[in-house]
A and B are shown apart, each in its own frame.
Chain A
Amino acid sequence: DGGITQSPKYLFRKEGQNVTLSCEQNLNHDAMYWYRQDPGQGLRLIYYSQIVNDFQKGDIAEGYSVSREKKESFPLTVTSAQKNPTAFYLCASSILSRPHSTDTQYFGPGTRLTVL
């Protein structure tokens, strides 16, 4: 079964702690993305990566970090510098075609992070 997995489904964190969200895909996609979803705000891009060992900041990267050591994996770390981290986090991937703007992004099931 090809797809994107995210773990854990629910995550609780104390203020001041860093936490890492996992994202794995077996679709052989080149591009991977992290979005944050808040009620009434749609999805906002945190980071994206088109190739191993390279990634770029999205619209709301402050307080987050990522790595892309393998094509299949794109973990997101929510650091203590993120002021309001409670949200639903979605990982997505896509194949890089020409033009990129026609690519379909495939989404994982999400991780709901709650800061206590």
Chain B
Amino acid sequence: AQSVTQLGSHVSVSEGALVLLRCNYSSSVPPYLFWYVQYPNQGLQLLLKYTSAATLVKGINGFEAEFKKSETSFHLTKPSAHMSDAAEYFCAVSLSRGGYQKVTFGIGTKLQVIP
């Protein structure tokens, strides 16, 4: 079985401050992990993904995430928040099951950026 836990359904940061969105996973096999962003009334857009090539993954818009096996974590960070970062962020874990890709999403974290 696989699961994803996102700590904090709402996170507020000041513009220019560090963004840290937490994600912990549970997987019986080595996981592949994704972060997606969703703006209001839109679909999801891939920010970055971990596929075991490197533990520190850089994505779009200045975001990055570090895979820590010992902590079963894949937290998303950005050094300096911008107003345009306000959105909902989803962590997801993926595995192959029965010949297809099974993706389990977290419940999401809404990021508010305060001017």
Which residues of the partner chain B approach A70 to less than 8 Å between Cβ atoms? none
CA distance in complex: A40, B34 (Å): 19
A18 touches B (CB below 8 Å): no
Interface residues in A57-116 by Cβ distance below 8 A to B read 88, 90, 92, 94, 99-110, 112
Which residues of the partner chain B approach A94 to less than 8 Å between Cβ atoms? 101
Q: Is the CB of A100 within 8 A of B100?
A: yes
Q: Is the CB of B106 within 8 A of A42?
A: yes
Interface residues in A5-51 by Cβ distance below 8 A to B read 6, 9, 31, 40-43, 45, 48, 50
Size of interface on A: residues with Cβ below 8 Å to B: 29
CA distance in complex: A105, B43 (Å): 11
Which residues of the partner chain B approach A43 to less than 8 Å between Cβ atoms? 44, 90, 105
Cβ distance A39 to chain B, nearest Cβ, rounded Å: 9
User: Contacts A43-B105, A110-B42: A100 and B90 contacting too (C-beta < 8 A)?
Assistant: no
CA distance in complex: A101, B98 (Å): 11
Kindly supply a per-residue 1/0 record for chain B positions 82-115, scoring 1 wherever the CB is within 8 Å of any chain A CB and 0 otherwise: 0000000010001110011111011110000000
Which residues of the partner chain B approach A92 to less than 8 Å between Cβ atoms? 43-44
Q: Is the CB of A50 within 8 A of B100?
A: yes
CA distance in complex: A105, B103 (Å): 9
Q: Could you list 27 A-B pairs, sorted by A, with CB under 8 Å?
A: A6-B43, A9-B41, A31-B101, A42-B105, A42-B107, A42-B108, A43-B44, A43-B90, A43-B105, A48-B100, A90-B43, A92-B44, A100-B96, A100-B99, A100-B100, A101-B32, A101-B95, A101-B96, A102-B32, A104-B34, A105-B103, A106-B46, A107-B36, A107-B44, A107-B45, A110-B43, A112-B41
